[in-house]
Structure 1
């Protein structure tokens, strides 16, 4: 009897081992892609939640004293509040402010205007969020809602939030 393997046996063994290695590498590559997509989705959800909380904070800050909400359904990327603040300014009189939250791709900005001699003067601008792909506001009696979206690596996520402001009608 001869010792060792024939060439045919070696070729068949190498082919089987090669197929097994390629299957394992294919599964590992697919797992890495799924893992990367999952991490991107989690990161987008986290960013959107932080942005939503920042918008909520600014809307609530204006809300308790907001006398009116200005919302144009033809321009849903912006919403404004009129706020009358007592004991404000140099003479401690009532002071009118207009808070405007506006989406200018890719940023969401807060613009605060002060009424001086019947004119609105921009007092402060603050960037609330960056890298936002969509932002739409909705207003209904007592409620302000918004949808924000963000995209990264061909994955897009959106977040919807409603804020109740009972003093608004």
Structure 2
């Protein structure tokens, strides 16, 4: 079986998403996606490879890739242009997910990166200070809020997050 590969060239991240030149065995073309995060370049390459293997016409493939949207709650861009702040919602509920989201968004920010987050109640309390430390390290500004405290005291959850952050 012959290996076919898809690759991205000249990848650029902006508040509007990612753009790059897509090279496939079925054709090459400019791709401008509203998706955020360089990890989505890999996702788009995988989709291109699958569509190509299914003999999807390249022009239709490129059009489809340009219009893919993130699933609800994952790197959803609500606002942002070259001159306006980028506003994104992501359901990063673990330290690793928060770290990956903040690192991915840094490439799309023209200025400072603010992180607004909270931790849910009656969930893994040990991750709260870790997430606070990561947010403090990777964002320029961190604002803490409630995220469904359930039966716990919301202020106690925020205090646990803050315990991982420098003074």
TM-score w.r.t. structure 2 length?
A: 0.26
Select the structure of larger CA radius of gyration.
Answer: 1
Query: Which structure has more strand as a fraction of its residues?
Result: 1
